[in-house]
Amino acid sequence: MAEHVYKKIEIVGSSPNGMEEAVHNALSRASKTIRNMRWFEVTETRGYIDEGKIEHWQVTLKIGFTLEE
Amino acid sequence: MAEHVYKKIEIVGSSPNGMEEAVHNALSRASKTIRNMRWFEVTETRGYIDEGKIEHWQVTLKIGFTLEE
Amino acid sequence: MAEHVYKKIEIVGSSPNGMEEAVHNALSRASKTIRNMRWFEVTETRGYIDEGKIEHWQVTLKIGFTLEE
Amino acid sequence: MAEHVYKKIEIVGSSPNGMEEAVHNALSRASKTIRNMRWFEVTETRGYIDEGKIEHWQVTLKIGFTLEE
Amino acid sequence: MAEHVYKKIEIVGSSPNGMEEAVHNALSRASKTIRNMRWFEVTETRGYIDEGKIEHWQVTLKIGFTLEE
Amino acid sequence: MAEHVYKKIEIVGSSPNGMEEAVHNALSRASKTIRNMRWFEVTETRGYIDEGKIEHWQVTLKIGFTLEE
Amino acid sequence: MAEHVYKKIEIVGSSPNGMEEAVHNALSRASKTIRNMRWFEVTETRGYIDEGKIEHWQVTLKIGFTLEE
Amino acid sequence: MAEHVYKKIEIVGSSPNGMEEAVHNALSRASKTIRNMRWFEVTETRGYIDEGKIEHWQVTLKIGFTLEE
Amino acid sequence: MAEHVYKKIEIVGSSPNGMEEAVHNALSRASKTIRNMRWFEVTETRGYIDEGKIEHWQVTLKIGFTLEE
Amino acid sequence: MAEHVYKKIEIVGSSPNGMEEAVHNALSRASKTIRNMRWFEVTETRGYIDEGKIEHWQVTLKIGFTLEE
Amino acid sequence: MAEHVYKKIEIVGSSPNGMEEAVHNALSRASKTIRNMRWFEVTETRGYIDEGKIEHWQVTLKIGFTLEE
Amino acid sequence: MAEHVYKKIEIVGSSPNGMEEAVHNALSRASKTIRNMRWFEVTETRGYIDEGKIEHWQVTLKIGFTLEE
């Protein structure tokens, strides 16, 4: 494992229901085109407000995945 | 929309139950005096501990709202 | 002047034409309700894109103004 | 209270179920050896992914506690 | 206390005599219009120089205060 | 819109004429291969100097675009 | 000296009288259990307010000390 | 050269032998699919430990490369 | 070129007309005493306000130049 | 592994010979009293100079280790 | 004043007696060779410890001064 | 030593062979004109790439040296 090379991409997930679901939605979408995702790092948490209530949360992630040889 | 001007204020919400409820409490209180809130950004997440358990979460937000013409 | 006290507020200005005009728009709107503005600091420059072109720039400023005695 | 001295330590908690549970697990483990914990600050939120899903969340906290005289 | 909501504002205090007096001057002015101030955080320390000597110190604070229900 | 997922990429644009044109050049090039660009964030502004004059400006942007379902 | 190993810990000192006394109080308490303290770095300066006046200052330090062989 | 547009990607290289070899491994893998790499910036240096010794170093790089017209 | 050594200095340029002219003014003044300037990095953008309008922009740059052998 | 709790400590290693040896020296000393070290993060690289040459490198690390149940 | 150009230098002052005196010592020494100093910004506050007490404070400043035409 | 005043300058060293040699080259060049260099701090590590290989490393240092009375 010591010679692995990873790529990190930055994805923003959204959800009306909360921060964790926004992360799940981001990973779920990313997994359609990326294999071998290994970890994520939350870099930003924000949200949009409508009529004084949260319309949706928006969480920015860096996702690391293994580059195949 | 391209000429809108927004103001950002910094609010700290608290909740004994979790981070997301602390955000909701902050927005709920802010909506009493501010109209046209548009977005929030989480800038700090912390909490207070009593007898080894979380007494309350405390989340700092920046809230952006439209300044009326 | 050595005993002055200032307040800093955070304002976001927009413009379809550029970063500097977004700053001017923010200051122009702020000057309607704030007297004695003394300086600004740009903290964030961003923009929104439509059809591959910049729809508007959005610049976040901190504005410092003198609190009257 | 004005003369209290506190120490801050850095702990990483994990949970398969979410960010808040990871914080609870960190505090629960820390409370086994530390008395008088007073507050925590979240400094990093990340997680590990297996087969496209979150295997566990990992949250880094600074925990402040009172140093007894 | 767990459901309290706080607002944070940013104030710059000045003093010819030192950093701590600049903080006192900022709080003294702020207390004229704000009730229930609870804490401050120093975010910037600077000063102006005249003829090679400090003319006045200038300290930027964030001040947190309780928003009444 | 609340369930949208976005990707952010980092692009550096250049221009001999100024910062804003460097942003336009970056977006113009990016739009050749990316659809649905929504926003950009300026993260770095620099430039190269030749014979004491600016040869070209160089602006680093993060660009966010919608990932299609 | 070139092979020395140091440990850094984070301590928060308090004082009703000022920032420097808060640092002294932190070091005084730390010296009860730590030998060979070599340097400190101030990482945060804040304070608590009561009735519009500073109740106590609170200064966070990192303290470096030599680990004995 | 003044009108060039670059893309920056984030890659993590590993090596059991040291930081510089981890950078070389990252670049070597990236060069398989990217042409015209021009510069890199080290953003994070870390490593994994096994039995008290470094199992491998892990270095995160941003790599800039020219986007062809 | 691989063995070049550069020095970086920090200069603040001003202009009543805009950010880019403030950069030009900084470089123009620096070129009177420094040869071989190679690049600049904008680190801070601010301005002073008079009667609600920008009196002058103020841009802080780091300027890199080659140290001759 | 998903429920593991880790502690992070901050250690400064030194070496006359280079950055990597400074890291090795830090880990070697830490391993005398800490079991189950898992990873490190380099947070600062500096050095001391004598007669124009590096007397020793000094590297600050955060070291993460598993807290046993 | 709108066309002034300033240079900023970084100076570290020391004092056995406190932070403010360390700033005064830095400015006093700088004023021997620099004319037209206008402002300073504190960027780092630290100190050295001997026998559990502060041997001297050490404060890092950026000092801005007007470059003459 | 408690009353010493230091100046910090920023130098960028290069080397085709590695990060540590880039630091040595920077110090070697600086020592031609600066006496009494005491410490350095690495603030940036980057490099330039040619044909998929590192052409040279480039390391930015702050160097502190004693200002003579």
Query: Across the interface, which of J16, J26, J55 has its CB nearest the CB of G5?
Result: J26
Q: Is H38 on the interface with F (CB under 8 A)?
A: no
Residues 6 or more apart in contact with residue J46 via CB below 8 angstroms: J57, J58, J59, L39, L40, L41, L42
Judged on CB neighbours under 10 Å (0-12, 13-18, 19+), B52 is middle
Q: What is the pLDDT of residue K59?
A: 98
In 3-state terms, what secondary structure has residue D23?
A: helix
DSSP secondary structure letter of residue B7:
E
Task: Tell me which chain G residues have a C-beta less than 8 angstroms from the C-beta of K53.
Answer: 27
Q: How many residues does chain K have?
A: 69
Q: Is E8 on the interface with B (CB under 8 A)?
A: yes
| Contact yes or no for F23/F37 (Cβ under 8 A) | no
Closest CA to D62 of A62, E39, G9: G9
Which whole-number Å values give the CA distances from F3 to A13, A24, E8, H27, in the listed order? Answer: 7, 11, 32, 36
Task: Tell me which chain G residues have a C-beta less than 8 angstroms from the C-beta of E42.
Answer: 45-46
| Contact yes or no for I30/I11 (Cβ under 8 A) | yes
Q: Is the pLDDT of residue D2 over 70?
A: no
Q: What is the mean pLDDT of residues C2-21?
A: 94
Contact K52 G39 (CB under 8 A): no
Residue labelled with tokens 């250049």: F14
Task: Tell me which chain I residues have a C-beta less than 8 angstroms from the C-beta of F21.
Answer: none
Query: Across the interface, which of F19, F31, F39 has its CB nearest the CB of C47?
Result: F39
Contact H46 J31 (CB under 8 A): no
Structural tokens at position C10: 């955070």
Structural tokens at position G41: 């770095």
K/D Cβ contact: 3+ pairs below 8 Å: no
In 3-state terms, what secondary structure has residue C8?
A: strand
Q: How many residues does chain F have?
A: 69
The secondary structure of chain L in percent helix, strand, coil, rounded to multiples of 5, reads: 15, 55, 30
| Contact yes or no for C68/C5 (Cβ under 8 A) | no
Q: Is the pLDDT of residue D37 over 80?
A: yes
Please name the residue of chain I whose CA is at the shortest distance from the CA of residue K67: I29
Tell me the count of K-L CB pairs closer than 8 A: 36
Q: How far is CA G19 from the centre of its chain?
A: 11
Instruction: Report pLDDT digits (tens) over C30-59.
Output: 999 999 999 999 999 999 999 999 999 999
Rg (CA), chain D: 14
For CA atoms C32, C33, C37, C42, the dihedral sign is: negative
Tell me the count of C-I CB pairs closer than 8 A: 30
Instruction: Determine the residue among K62, K67, K69 to mutate to test chain I binding: the one whose Cβ has the most chain I Cβ atoms within 10 Å.
Output: K67
Kindly give the pairing relationship between strand F53-66 and strand G6-15: unpaired
pLDDT band at A3 (very low <50, low <70, confident <90, very high): confident
Task: Tell me which chain L residues have a C-beta less than 8 angstroms from the C-beta of K10.
Answer: 7-9, 62
Q: Is the pLDDT of residue B3 over 80?
A: no
Which whole-number Å values give the CA distances from E37 to E9, E29, E65, L1, in the listed order? Answer: 10, 12, 4, 42
Structural tokens at position H14: 């590993």
In our burial notation (b when 16+ CB lie closer than 10 A, e otherwise), range G13-44 reads bbbbebbbbbbbbbbebbbeebeebbbbbbee
Average pLDDT, chain D: 95
Contact I12 K9 (CB under 8 A): no
Task: Tell me which chain C residues have a C-beta less than 8 angstroms from the C-beta of E56.
Answer: 1-3
Closest CA–CA distance from residue L22 to any residue of chain J (Å): 12
Residues 6 or more apart in contact with residue I58 via CB below 8 angstroms: I12, I13, I14, I22, I45, I46, I47, I48
Which whole-number Å values give the CA distances from J54 to J15, L6, L9, in the listed order? Answer: 10, 18, 17
Instruction: Report pLDDT digits (tens) over H2-55.
Output: 579 999 999 999 999 999 999 999 999 999 999 999 999 999 999 999 999 999
Judged on CB neighbours under 10 Å (0-12, 13-18, 19+), F12 is buried
Q: Is the pLDDT of residue E1 over 70?
A: no
Structural tokens at position G11: 């301590």
Q: Is C7 on the interface with E (CB under 8 A)?
A: yes
E13 vs E26: CA distance, rounded Å: 4
Closest CA–CA distance from residue J3 to any residue of chain G (Å): 26
Task: Tell me which chain H residues have a C-beta less than 8 angstroms from the C-beta of F13.
Answer: 5
Structural tokens at position H4: 């060039």
Instruction: Determine the residue among E45, E48, E56 to mutate to test chain K binding: the one whose Cβ has the most chain K Cβ atoms within 10 Å.
Output: E45
Closest CA to F29 of I60, K65, H7: H7
Please name the residue of chain B whose CA is at the shortest distance from the CA of residue A48: B39
Per-residue confidence in pLDDT tens, chain K, 69 aa:
557 999 999 999 999 999 999 999 999 999 999 999 999 999 999 999 999 999 999 999 999 999 987
In 3-state terms, what secondary structure has residue G54?
A: strand
Closest CA–CA distance from residue A39 to any residue of chain D (Å): 4
Q: What is the pLDDT of residue D64?
A: 98
Structural tokens at position B15: 């909740």
**DSSP of chain J, one letter per residue?**
-TT--EEEEEEEEEESS-HHHHHHHHHHHHTTT---EEEEEEEEEEEEEETTEEEEEEEEEEEEEEPP-
Tell me the count of I-L CB pairs closer than 8 A: 36
B50 vs I29: CA distance, rounded Å: 60
D/J Cβ contact: 3+ pairs below 8 Å: yes
Contact J52 L23 (CB under 8 A): no
Q: What is the pLDDT of residue C68?
A: 86
The half-sphere exposure of G55 on its side-chain side, counting CA atoms within 13 A, is 13
Tell me the count of F-H CB pairs closer than 8 A: 36
Q: Is H15 on the interface with A (CB under 8 A)?
A: yes
| Contact yes or no for A16/A54 (Cβ under 8 A) | yes
Structural tokens at position J24: 């090795």
D49 vs A36: CA distance, rounded Å: 9
Q: Is J4 on the interface with D (CB under 8 A)?
A: yes
* 3-class SS string, chain H: CCCCCEEEEEEEEEECCCHHHHHHHHHHHHCCCCCCEEEEEEEEEEEEEECCEEEEEEEEEEEEEECCC
Q: Is L39 on the interface with J (CB under 8 A)?
A: yes
Contact K37 E44 (CB under 8 A): no
Instruction: Report pLDDT digits (tens) over A9-66.
Output: 999 999 999 999 999 999 999 999 999 999 999 999 999 999 999 999 999 999 999 9
Paired residues of G54 in beta bridges: G49
Structural tokens at position B16: 């004994």
Q: Is K49 on the interface with I (CB under 8 A)?
A: no
Q: Is the pLDDT of residue E21 over 70?
A: yes
Average pLDDT, chain A: 95
Contact L2 K16 (CB under 8 A): yes
pLDDT band at D43 (very low <50, low <70, confident <90, very high): very high
A/F Cβ contact: 3+ pairs below 8 Å: yes
Side chain identity, residue L36 = N
pLDDT lower than 70: segments of chain J = 1-2
Query: Across the interface, which of G18, G46, G53 has its CB nearest the CB of E39?
Result: G46
Side chain identity, residue H15 = S
Q: How many residues does chain J have?
A: 69
Side chain identity, residue B57 = W
Instruction: Report pLDDT digits (tens) over F36-69.
Output: 999 999 999 999 999 999 999 999 999 999 998 7
Please name the residue of chain L whose CA is at the shortest distance from the CA of residue I10: L10
Q: What is the pLDDT of residue B48?
A: 98
Q: Is E36 on the interface with G (CB under 8 A)?
A: no
Closest CA to E38 of G55, B37, F62: G55
Instruction: Report pLDDT digits (tens) over L30-64.
Output: 999 999 999 999 999 999 999 999 999 999 999 99
Q: Is the pLDDT of residue L29 over 80?
A: yes
| Contact yes or no for L10/L58 (Cβ under 8 A) | no
The ipTM assigned to this model is: 0.95
Q: What is the pLDDT of residue E29?
A: 96
Residues 6 or more apart in contact with residue J29 via CB below 8 angstroms: G5, G67, J11, J13
End-to-end CA distance of chain B: 12
Contact C3 E10 (CB under 8 A): no
Judged on CB neighbours under 10 Å (0-12, 13-18, 19+), F62 is middle
- Determine which helix (DSSP H) or strand (DSSP E) holds K22, and give its type and residue range: helix K19-30
Closest CA to K18 of E15, L2, E47: L2
Query: Across the interface, which of A1, A2, A5 has its CB nearest the CB of H12?
Result: A5
Q: Is E41 on the interface with C (CB under 8 A)?
A: no
Q: What is the pLDDT of residue B2?
A: 55
pLDDT band at G53 (very low <50, low <70, confident <90, very high): very high
In 3-state terms, what secondary structure has residue D48?
A: strand
Q: What is the pLDDT of residue B37?
A: 98
Query: Across the interface, which of H3, H7, H8 has its CB nearest the CB of F25?
Result: H3
Contact L48 H27 (CB under 8 A): no
Q: Is C9 on the interface with E (CB under 8 A)?
A: yes
Q: Is K16 on the interface with L (CB under 8 A)?
A: yes
H60 vs E19: CA distance, rounded Å: 40
Task: Tell me which chain A residues have a C-beta less than 8 angstroms from the C-beta of F67.
Answer: 11, 29
Backbone phi and psi for residue L68, each to the nearest 5 degrees, phi listed first: -70, 150
| Contact yes or no for L67/L6 (Cβ under 8 A) | yes
Instruction: Determine the residue among H10, H39, H61 to mutate to test chain L binding: the one whose Cβ has the most chain L Cβ atoms within 10 Å.
Output: H39
Q: What is the pLDDT of residue K60?
A: 98
Q: Is C12 on the interface with F (CB under 8 A)?
A: no
A56 vs F5: CA distance, rounded Å: 12
Kindly give the pairing relationship between strand C37-50 and strand F37-50: antiparallel
Q: Is the pLDDT of residue H1 over 90?
A: no
Contact J5 D13 (CB under 8 A): yes
| Contact yes or no for A43/A10 (Cβ under 8 A) | yes
Q: What is the mean pLDDT of residues H58-64?
A: 98
Closest CA–CA distance from residue D30 to any residue of chain J (Å): 9
- More confident call, L15 vs F2: L15
**DSSP of B21-50, one letter per residue?**
HHHHHHHHHHTTT---EEEEEEEEEEEEEE
G52 vs E32: CA distance, rounded Å: 9
Task: Tell me which chain H residues have a C-beta less than 8 angstroms from the C-beta of L12.
Answer: none
C17 vs D20: CA distance, rounded Å: 44
Residues 6 or more apart in contact with residue F64 via CB below 8 angstroms: A12, F6, F7, F8, F37, F38, F39, F40, F41
Residues 6 or more apart in contact with residue G27 via CB below 8 angstroms: G13, G37, G40, G61, G63, K49, K52, K53, K54
Instruction: Determine the residue among G7, G14, G34, G40 to mutate to test chain D binding: the one whose Cβ has the most chain D Cβ atoms within 10 Å.
Output: G14
E52 vs K28: CA distance, rounded Å: 7
Q: Is the pLDDT of residue E6 over 60?
A: yes
F6 vs A29: CA distance, rounded Å: 9
pLDDT band at L68 (very low <50, low <70, confident <90, very high): confident
Q: Is H46 on the interface with F (CB under 8 A)?
A: no
Q: Is the pLDDT of residue I1 over 60?
A: no
Please name the residue of chain A whose CA is at the shortest distance from the CA of residue B59: A45
